[in-house]
Chains A and B, each alone.
Chain A
Amino acid sequence: MKKEPAGNHKETMEIRLEHVNYIYGGDTELAVHALDDVNITLPAGQFIGLIGHTGSGKSTLVQHLNGLLKPTSGRIYCDGEDICAKDYNMKKLRQKVGLVFQYPEHQLFEADVLSDVCFGPKNLGFSKEEAEAKAKAALLQVGLSEEYFDQSPFDLSGGQKRRVAIAGVLAMDPEVLILDEPTAGLDPKGREEILNLIRKLKEERGITVVLVSHSMDDVANYVERIIVVNHGRIMFDDAPRKVFTHVEELENMGLAAPQVTYIMKALAEKGAAVDTSAITLEEAKQSILEWVKGNKA
């Protein structure tokens, strides 16, 4: 087994899934093929968006990444080690792959913010001092200064509670951070703040981030790679710009393209010479400006 990584991570890990199938209710008539021959590699340090409609299998997939679910067949390797092997250290895997569930603030339970964030590292066997040091670093990194440490997490705003919950996972020093719809229920500014925070964490810690999202605009603006899941299968796995050229297929899967992509398509249909592959507001703006100004010239 490899040495525990020290505080800041130079060394991050790769997760590889080979022919992973997951079937529940296997021996009954109600058997559901929740994952169907999934083959993906998550290299260290990537920012990945995972999209799919409710019930598409994305949560099942995510739960395989830190060993909460075991594949019915197929193999999952973390840094080359088979996580289904009998002697594999699951505890270490769960420390390395941090999972922030939907509405994670519902899982806050301690009397004060610092104790809540200490729970993870203490559970991993760190001393009180070490756990507190990790918790404090994590809280500062999510933008909660010392004045919040002694407050009850229940007195904080929705966005702040969610930061505490994210800090709780960060304090375990994960190398892969998976967030299941981290912006659900937040106001527009709160959504932007959380997404900017996630981007900052990825850059500062050099970790892999998997963002599970129902917002096409968010994934278009933030991630470098999108994995689309439908009926337990990987339908697309590519750069956002390429994935969002498949508008019709995405709609048939209960998804969509980013809003600006529809705007650009509508403009093009009326004869405007604009870039219909634009997926962010900035790209759309530049393309329209070129078209409008080009005409004036």
Chain B
Amino acid sequence: MDIIKAQDLSFDYIRRDEEGNVEGTTRAVNHVSLSVSQGDFVAILGHNGSGKSTFAKHLNAILMPTEGTVWVDGMDTREEAKIWDIRQEAGMVFQNPDNQIIGQVVEEDVGFGPENMGVPTKEIWERVEESLKAVGMYEYRKYSPNKLSGGQKQRVSIAGVLAMHPKCIVLDEPTAMLDPSGRREVIRAVRALNMVEHVTVILITHYMEEIIHADHVFVMDVGKVAMHGTPKEVFSRVEELKALRLGVPEVTQLAWELKQSGVNLPEGILTVEELTEALLQCRG
């Protein structure tokens, strides 16, 4: 079952002059067709301006297609009557943790979504508890969000989405503003959601090493899907990725450079374990 399906999706940003007349359009997403199966961990890569965030904003109806169609769990995002159902099923987490938290206390913030949906009070508290536990923030439920680190705030944001019981969570560069431990915490929480809670994950990032465990990787360029495959397949194409202003995980880069220097290594090495194994085999 496809939780997300985009068919021939295009989106134009419209530029207007001071009087509001249309000056021109910029095509940010250009005839994208892709689908995501329920329970998958999908990564979207692409340089700044490649169209990945514009695409992501279609997945919970923040933006509407200029052409083509997006379905979330079978619902066309252009159907106005379905908009709240769509937003409940596909939650979004953004880059800046400070822009997403509104509550004075962690548990209130997490309860805001379900409360807004009209969930009965008793169930709100159950959902708050399970969501905070899922991201490892339950001990902090009585804290003021401004006492938390960046990674903790992002995990609270994720819990806030989880409490709405979405089938899918879209994260647009959730670690861009975090320190190394914050990044680790958030990625660990996201992977746990996918593996334990079976929530579909769509992760947009500029950090290549965060997505080596993804099921599928889509690489965007000039509004189109330029590459698609498993992490191993995509990260085997080092030179193509560099031409798209991207890179590969550090381990993959090191393996690739060693291969260029004549060491007999397989393509698309993604983890330290794989590299270690392969090098020890070279040693014979």
List residues of chain A with CB under 8 Å of any chain B CB.
52-55, 102, 157-159, 184-191, 214, 216-217, 251, 254-256, 258-260, 262-263, 266-267, 270-272, 281, 284-285, 288-289, 292, 295
Contact = CB atoms under 8 A, between A and B. Distances in A.
Nearest to B283: A295
Given A158-B49, A190-B48, A263 B180 contact: no
Nearest to B250: A259
A54 B206 contact: no
A217 B247 CA distance: 14
A120 B209 CA distance: 39
Contacts of A263: 250-251, 254, 272, 275
Given A185-B173, A267-B279, A289-B261, A256 B182 contact: no
Secondary structure of the A contact surface, majority rule: helix
B232 interface: no
A55 B148 CA distance: 9
Given A188-B246, A189-B245, A272-B279, 6 more contacts: A54-B149, A186-B48, A187-B246, A188-B247, A255-B181, A292-B282
A-B complex: 6 closest residue pairs judged by Cβ atoms: A189-B245, A254-B181, A259-B250, A188-B247, A187-B47, A256-B180
A281 B254 contact: yes
B276 interface: yes
Contact of B179 (A189, A254, A258, A260): A254
Secondary structure of the B contact surface, majority rule: helix
A188 B208 contact: yes
Nearest to B249: A259
A284 B46 CA distance: 28
Nearest to B52: A187
Contacts of B192: none
B149 A254 contact: yes
Contacts of A189: 47, 242, 245-247
Nearest to A191: B206
Interface of B: 46-49, 95, 149-151, 173, 176-183, 206, 208-209, 242, 245-247, 249-251, 253-254, 257-258, 261, 263, 272-273, 275-276, 279-280, 282-284
Given A157-B48, A188-B208, A281 B276 contact: no
Contacts of B49: 157-158
B140 to A, nearest CB: 15
A263 B277 CA distance: 12
Contacts, number: 115
Contacts of A262: 272
Which of A189, A258, A281 has its CB near the most chain B CB atoms (within 10 A)?
A: A189
Contact of B257 (A53, A157, A266, A281): A281
Nearest to B246: A188
A235 B261 CA distance: 39
Given A260-B254, A263-B254, A292-B283, A184 B181 contact: no
A54 B179 contact: yes
Which of A102, A217, A289 has its CB near the most chain B CB atoms (within 10 A)?
A: A289
A266 B283 contact: no
Contacts of B280: 270-272
Contacts of B247: 188-189
A281 B181 contact: no
Given A187-B246, A262-B272, A214 B261 contact: no
Contacts of A260: 250, 254
A85 to B, nearest CB: 35
Contact of A187 (B206, B209, B276): B206
B100 to A, nearest CB: 16
A292 B180 CA distance: 31
A254 B206 contact: no
Nearest to B95: A185
Contacts of A259: 209, 249-251
Which of A52, A187, A259, A289 has its CB near the most chain B CB atoms (within 10 A)?
A: A187
A189 to B, nearest CB: 3
A292 B279 CA distance: 8
Contacts of B181: 53, 251, 254-256
A233 to B, nearest CB: 17
B178 A214 contact: yes
A216 B261 contact: no
Nearest to A285: B257
Which of B180, B263, B280 has its CB near the most chain A CB atoms (within 10 A)?
A: B180
